[in-house]
Structure 1
Amino acid sequence: MKVFRKLLLVGAVGALFAACSKDLETADPTGPVEPGNGEIVSNTLGLAVSGMKSPVTELGSMETRSVIDEAVTLSFPEEPEVTRATGDTSATDAEKAVKNLWILQFGDEGKLVYKTMRKDVTASSLDVPLIGCDNSTVYAVANVGETKFDSAEVDKYALTTFEALSFDTTTEVDTTNGLPMIGSWTGQTKDPSASDKPKIELKRMVAKISFTCKKEVPMGHSFSLKSVQLCSVSPTTSYKAPVAGTIAPVSTANFFDYAKQSSAVLDKAYSWYVPENLRGTVSEITLPTDKGESKAPAHSTFIEVIGSYNDGSNPATDITFRIFPGANKTNDFNIARNYKYTITATVKGNNPTDLRVVVATDLCKNPFDESEEFANCYMVSKAGQTYKFDALHLANNATVAANAPKSVKVLWETNGAQKIIKSVELKNGWVYFTTAGESGDPITEGNAVIAVYDTTTPGNEQNVLWSWHIWSTQCNPAEDASWYQGNYKFMKYNLGADCTSAEGTVGRFGLYYQWGRKDPFIGVNPTAGISFGNQTSFAANTAPTYGGGTWTTAAVSSSVGTIDYAKKHPMTFITATASPYDWISGTRNDDLWGTGWSATGSTGGYNGNKGKKSCYDPCPPGYRVPPQDAWSNLSTTSGVFNWNSTTLGRKGTGTAQNFYPAAGYRNCNNGGGLCNVGSRGYCWSSSPYSSGGTFAGSLGFYSSGVYPQNSSYRAHGFSVRCVQNF
């Protein structure tokens, strides 16, 4: 078909500039014009830039709780509508700008038939031709870049491809070049005299959240604001607006946080442009105080407010609020495109019954009786949850140091940077940390170590005061079936294992410990598999970790082989290549894990001493390293502990259902390299094998044998299977 090139007047001044009465102006084309096959017909395409209104409504009939119960009250100040109108002082330049305007026309067959781009649209009309079609869809896209659709080929680029596009909000939202906008129109473009003339209303592909914090605390109380942060932001948004009522998938990954506004001040407005995040409504919420983290849908966007609160009777403590924007202050968690959410939060108190107050879960509790118990390992089971532990007290109530810790950092973690621990800080002698992920999602299985330092600049191992292992796991020892061996109740998994992994996979191995040391060492790389057989060294297959620490080895010596050195170097595996093959230099220390030696009750070579949990025990609250007689009834002939050649480990029958993987060990005589992975398994007991001797007691097994009273060099790195305190 012959192409007739005619220019189309794109006008409608009242549409492009709402509330503007300027005379019509004509702008010359300034961008590429690429028509496809078809007759170019003069039509009048109207453009409008939609107002950015507030969706927030007051639900007065639902707000029945007295203000005295609210730790924070929310109000939604009225603001002028953000439009493209001249003289609209409420809109920023970014909100008003229309730059790099792409016109994309899709024809009868759903393929691109025409495209053009205009820069810096400030005039009231544009001359843009359209191809005459019976059924045409025309999109206008602004502020996404002047080369965004250069590669879209006429007669090839499909409408379905365009409408499936997503916009990367982690890198592409550049407010200096205007906010991304989009609009569309569908109809016929053959007859320009028809009443249904092309008209497009541009809407911003993002929302605006503005937040101000105020205070009205009771007399004698005080509150000071420390930081404000917008959290759980969607990494993408679709070009095509979602269908009304759509709820974004809960499984969407990689939500991220905007930079924290530190040193925040009261009465100042903080603003963010964010992609829409449609999380839906929760009908069971009827009170503002219940619109908190525990009831919010996963991945809901929220504003985190951190401050210091003093009620006049106790020392000031940090308090955290999480405010969830939405169309109301009770049950709506939707952030919709082209809307503005203007929120003023007034701090009234520190009432923890208000679910918008984030209460850090105290980890220093025995899970079986809720009594206070300090440990070197803490188990966490909720994603996006804030936890705390006492950094001044250790297991058996020993103190960490004469001087209080000055700083804290994540020394290492698995899976990736901030994949286990999202953030950590030290406050009033307590370590506060937030797990990665979104509240309500399953927690990521993995491990991390957090260290505190005696200096305000953490990093130098010589300044480490103490360190703690954080086991991020869905395992719940109090509920999971556990194996009773005599009088002992074992955990179902090795310390540090991935409880979601199948038997016969690396995830079940857990971590490795030198006898008497509290800090774990990383194991086999999960991507390496475990069918290694009886190899000698797999140091190169250790799993990667992330954080500020570096894994090293050091040969035992009078300066290296000390408890103080081990404490300050939690990532250093201390090797020993000669008798007595201990990481401790000099005299053996039998009591590092609290059992010591006692000949009383010792039968068949077992140390009969039960001891007590020590300050170096690596197990979490409620658990300890088992004494030497814990596996006394295991054998290869009784049929209660059978080898499985497929899963490469042993598993009990009847009441002894726990699986023990052949995780091998880290060899102190071979640079800490991994040995016997997939062919043998070892678990430490808390007991020395003899008084002051070379060996410590352990469980050892392989395909043809079980050794419940095994003896092993103390500098080796073995698995640990904790037992409930007794």
Structure 2
Amino acid sequence: MRYLVFLSAILCANILLGSCSEEKLAADKETSSNFEEGELTLASLKLAVNSFEVNVQSDSRVPEEDTEAERAIHDIWVFQFDATENQNLLINPRYYTIADQSELDNLQVWLKPNITSTVYIVANTNQPNWITDKTDVSSRANLEAQELYNLEPQFTNEGQSLSIPMTGYKDNVTINEESGTATNEVTIPVTRMFAKLCVKADISFDYMTLRSIGISRIPKASKVTARTGEGNDKTDYRNTFYYWKATTFDLNGEEEHIVYVPENMQGIIEEDNNSGKNEGNAPAKALRLTVEVDREDPDTGENTQPNYVVYPGGNVTTDFNIKRNCIYNVTINITSDKDVHIPSSNCFVVVPGNLLSFEPYYREEKGGGYSFKDYLDVNDETGKKVIDKVEIIWQSKDAIGDNSKGDLVWYNPETQKIYVKTKTEGNALIAAYNKYDEIIWSWHIWVTDHDPANLSNAVRYTTYEWDSNGIYPDRPRTSGLEVMSCNLGALANEPENGQDTKPFGMLYQWGRKDPFPPVLKGNPGNYTVQNVGEYYDNSNKQVVGMTSDVDPTQLFHSISGIDMLKLPNPVCYAIQHPTVFICGTKGVMKGEQYVENILNYVAEGDWNHVHDDRLWGGLPPVDDGSMEKYTINSQRNVHIYDNYGSSKTIFDPCPYGWRTAPGELWLGFTKTGLNPTNWDEVNNYPAPDWNPSWWGTYIYMQSWKGENGNGYTYFPNQGTRVGDGYGMRVGTCGNYHNATTDSGNRVNILHIHNTARLFHIFEFEFPMYYVKSVAGPIRCVRDPNPGQ
């Protein structure tokens, strides 16, 4: 659970500010309508941008004047309607771009003269194809029913320029047939379609520091005309064009963070016993702020990261409307930390030398329809789901230390918390056992001081727009989620040299929550201490056994695909045996030629013969029209589906606040959004001294070749464990999992290579890489809806 904290939410008062335009501007795009528009003449538009509305309250900050960036207009669509009852379209809609704001001093457009009319403007769409010959804007009502799609939150703190969509109109306009006359000057007030959120945080405790603030449930589409938030006139989404984006930021020492978001009108609820706005009464799609802090208990030294929830709107009690052209000054005051409950996850990032505590029974993920109580339940009368003890299954040397006395990792039944004291950087897997000495759940402890879960280290990705007809690299990119700065479990973001393995992360079979330590050498190689490195047991003394073979005397070993088919529930088996590699091949340790032949696999290469595409938060791919689907290769039956679910699952291996990435993340890694034909089509950053012999490559995440900034990150070619349990391609291949799948149980794996021939953002040539039993690294992204 999270906590609603006091916020100041400020609303609305109206002032007009004008900016003028009178220079002739040729139309960049003109649609063709089914009527003859006749002779047109030039008219001069003056666009007056309405100021943001603010309702000044006694506890609010004094609003500042609109900035030049907030008033900027970069393009406009121009419409003209007659004054009849139906207000019919008079001219073909035209799209004009404005290269320099000085052009607004004299902006001329084509209009129909000698008729009383309404001139309508939609500005800053950045979409020259928004209105086409097939778009019905034959009347003003039809135009106002249209929606702008692919809207993204905008920021000034991150150095981005603004292009806030606006609309406006002027009634009773009559254009003189003679162009350039005074009567042909039309002043049109325009209003922004976005709201402005000014977010501040005030924490009353010196042992708590702000970590990040997340904004979720941001609509991606907005009607031309404003919604009221009443009855059925609420912001909603009905298909993939309304996908809810989210963003997260830290203040980085700034007093406040400013973000501009499309209107989100969710209405006003009835007063709820003065309880204020909270998760219990909030509409499902109400805009939400999630505040994450670092907390070190002043008495015990326990380190936790509690989360608090805030709902901006018209007031702090009942109004969930985020209105266009309004400023919301949100001050988040954290004045109490009593009874703070920290939800569990499958991975915890802990600084060396710290004490971690968490509540193992408390989980918030709702994705996939799974219930955590099916596995852990403190009230289970049989005791099978009740924690009796906690021990270390494996650890890198001194990550935790000698726990033979149970004083470094333990469970306290009174507090119902698990405690972990870390020592040095590394990784560990701890497990809870029931009274029957059965493993009932396990957790990855990631001990590192480079703070990979901190937003200041993450890079928000952008990707290409796409639909069932194609991928569109020539269109403006759409903003995605923040990407973690390193692979899950890595001990460094970047290498110190070309063959540095510290950036290597853990390996995961698709859909499983528990990690396998990475392979460090071997091609192919047995999963042994010689190829993986030494890992230790609960006492931190005994090196645990490792093999790719079927040998249960070794902690890490494999079972064949034939034996997997005999398991009634492979998911339950995987939970109880987190170190056992479940092969997707008929046999184990058969070699490269064997795993390259799809005929040697069972269950289409899945480690789970029951098949479940939801395990990591994806949706099963379907062809019923409910999700977008683009065919990459019809002969191989390869597609990308818009099947990234809105919620994280209990099997997702990422830490709280993060989740496994969507498949669209990889599109921007190449120039076309498809597999490249040469290295020039790979969106790599040429780091100093980098060359193709390096065990990894840097990828630009936000634009093609960094043209809009230097947002890049390092992806190591750390190899993988293929379906027969062997390690493969260390230093030459990076095979990255994401949450979504294709039809036929194929995973959307990213196959990174330092040569273009094998750099595949859609891997469909080699089954040893695209089956679900392959174990690859993960790059987590920020969870836009934590706890949902």
Q: What TM-score bracket applies, with the shorter chain setting the length?
A: 0.3 to 0.5
The normalised TM-score by structure 1 is: 0.46
- Which structure would you say has the larger RCO, counting Cα contacts within 8 Å and 6 or more residues apart? 2
